[in-house]
Amino acid sequence: MSETKANTSDLLTWAHLKRLGRSDNGNRWYPDARAPAWVHAYLKRFRPPSRQFPWSLARALLTRKFLDHARTVDPDWVATLTDQ
């Protein structure tokens, strides 16, 4: 495996997402002001949370695709998020 590929352990977790957003009374997760603007822009392409898909935005951030995008856009942010 090449070093540029992320390991499964390198992916973001729910603990990381708790630092980026909040769940409402319906247990739907949304990013809040702590998330950078480019994260909000990235999430605009995904289905907004609903009763049937409460974690649609959160699940998008748990993917390797998002992490690769984040490393391209703001590698310092990824480093600080994953080092905590």
Model confidence at 11, pLDDT cuts 50, 70, 90, reads: confident
Predicted TM-score of the model (pTM): 0.81
* E strand or H helix at 22: strand 21-23
pLDDT tens sequence across 12-69: 899 989 889 999 999 999 999 989 999 999 999 999 999 999 999 999 999 999 999 9
Domain ranges of the chain: 9-83
CB atoms within 10 A of CB 28: 18
**Residue 8 pLDDT greater than 60, yes or no:** no
Give the ranges where 1-84 is alpha helix by DSSP (H). 14-18, 37-43, 56-61, 64-73, 75-83
Q: What is the pLDDT of residue 2?
A: 43
